[in-house]
Amino acid sequence: MTDRPFRVLGIQQVALGGLDKGRLRHFWVDLLGLKLSHDFQSARENVDEDVCVAGRGPFAVEVDLMQPIDPEGRPKVHHPALNHIGVWIDDLPAAVAWLGEQGVRFTPGGIRKGASGFDITFVHPKGDAERPIGGEGVLIELVQAPPAVIAAFDALADDVPLA
């Protein structure tokens, strides 16, 4: 598939959920040393979260520590505990259009501002009859990469080994 009109530039975030984000914060911030960036609440998304950062620079990874505003409400941000993974996309509208044409199912809500101010949308964990392709059990957040991330990605060589 060489006609894909977008690129995945890297992991943008990992979102972790629990009934008590204080316990998550104690482990990830107090014990592991992640930096607390800010908090975010959204009744529409049923989420009260602490946004933390691991690493630095354009490829720092956001770690969202989430608890539900209403434990009985939806979405259930605390279930599963590894709630979703977010990836940087260099052209989010093109990605959504192209993936939709391929039969990918998105969650309701379309492209919108996320907790950190970037445009986002979600690939549904499961396909359905109309759109048979989903995240194979994983909720995937597509995040519009800012210019600094795109530039940093473009500056990297393609063949740099991990080790």
Mean pLDDT (the chain, rounded): 94
Q: Where are the domains of the chain?
A: 8-155
What CATH number matches the domain at 8-155, 3.90.1150.10, 3.10.20.30, 3.10.180.10, 3.30.390.50? 3.10.180.10
Tally: H helices and E strands in the chain = 3, 8
Query: Mean pLDDT, to the nearest integer, of 79-95?
Result: 96
Report the C-alpha gap between 35 and 28 in whole angstroms.
9
The pTM of the full predicted model, rounded to 2 decimals, is: 0.88
> Letter for the amino acid at 75?
P
pLDDT the model gives residue 2: 66
Q: Which element (helix H / strand E) includes 40?
A: strand 35-42
